[in-house]
Amino acid sequence: MRELEIEPILDLCHFGMPDWLGNSFQNPEFPKAFAAYARAFAKRYRWVRFYTPVNEILVCAKFSALYGWWNEQERSDPAFVTAVKHLTKATLLAMREILKVQPRAIFIQSESSEYTRTVCHCEHTEERVSCQNQVRFIPLDLLYCHEVRADIHAWLMDNGMAGRE
């Protein structure tokens, strides 16, 4: 790539994870292990400057822990919240470790763009749609320390996120 003057954007986690971590974003050891991997990668390929530590945190968490399609194949709000918090923490720790090795690193966070609409204008449906449209921002809110709506904060706490997280 260097000979061809191609500057890659390295995506270090694109939905998969190793079996030794239980193939599960529910594993609390995942963020630290991922950060160590990111540091080792940055040491080996010091010329790389552009990184996406975890690609599409929301999609990864939904597909793995809410819809049951990937990795841990969970289907619950608590599993989704745990996956989001571990993937977000992994991203932040990886960025810190990469910067120790490559201080000029640039991070490009990718995320899905989705919006839910209702065709049924009943109160319960509109509340659920409003909630879904806020949940889609949780990974970015956590990454960038953006305050979440009170009802979303309560939902996160009800589903396993601790206040310090």
pLDDT digit string, tens, across residues 134-163:
999 999 999 999 999 999 999 999 999 998
Q: For the whole model, what pTM was predicted?
A: 0.94
Residue 21 DSSP class: G
**Alpha-carbon distance 64 to 71, whole Å?**
5
- Residues (pLDDT < 50) of the chain are none
Instruction: Give me the pLDDT at residue 164, please.
Output: 83
Half-sphere exposure of 25 (CA within 13 A, CB side): 35
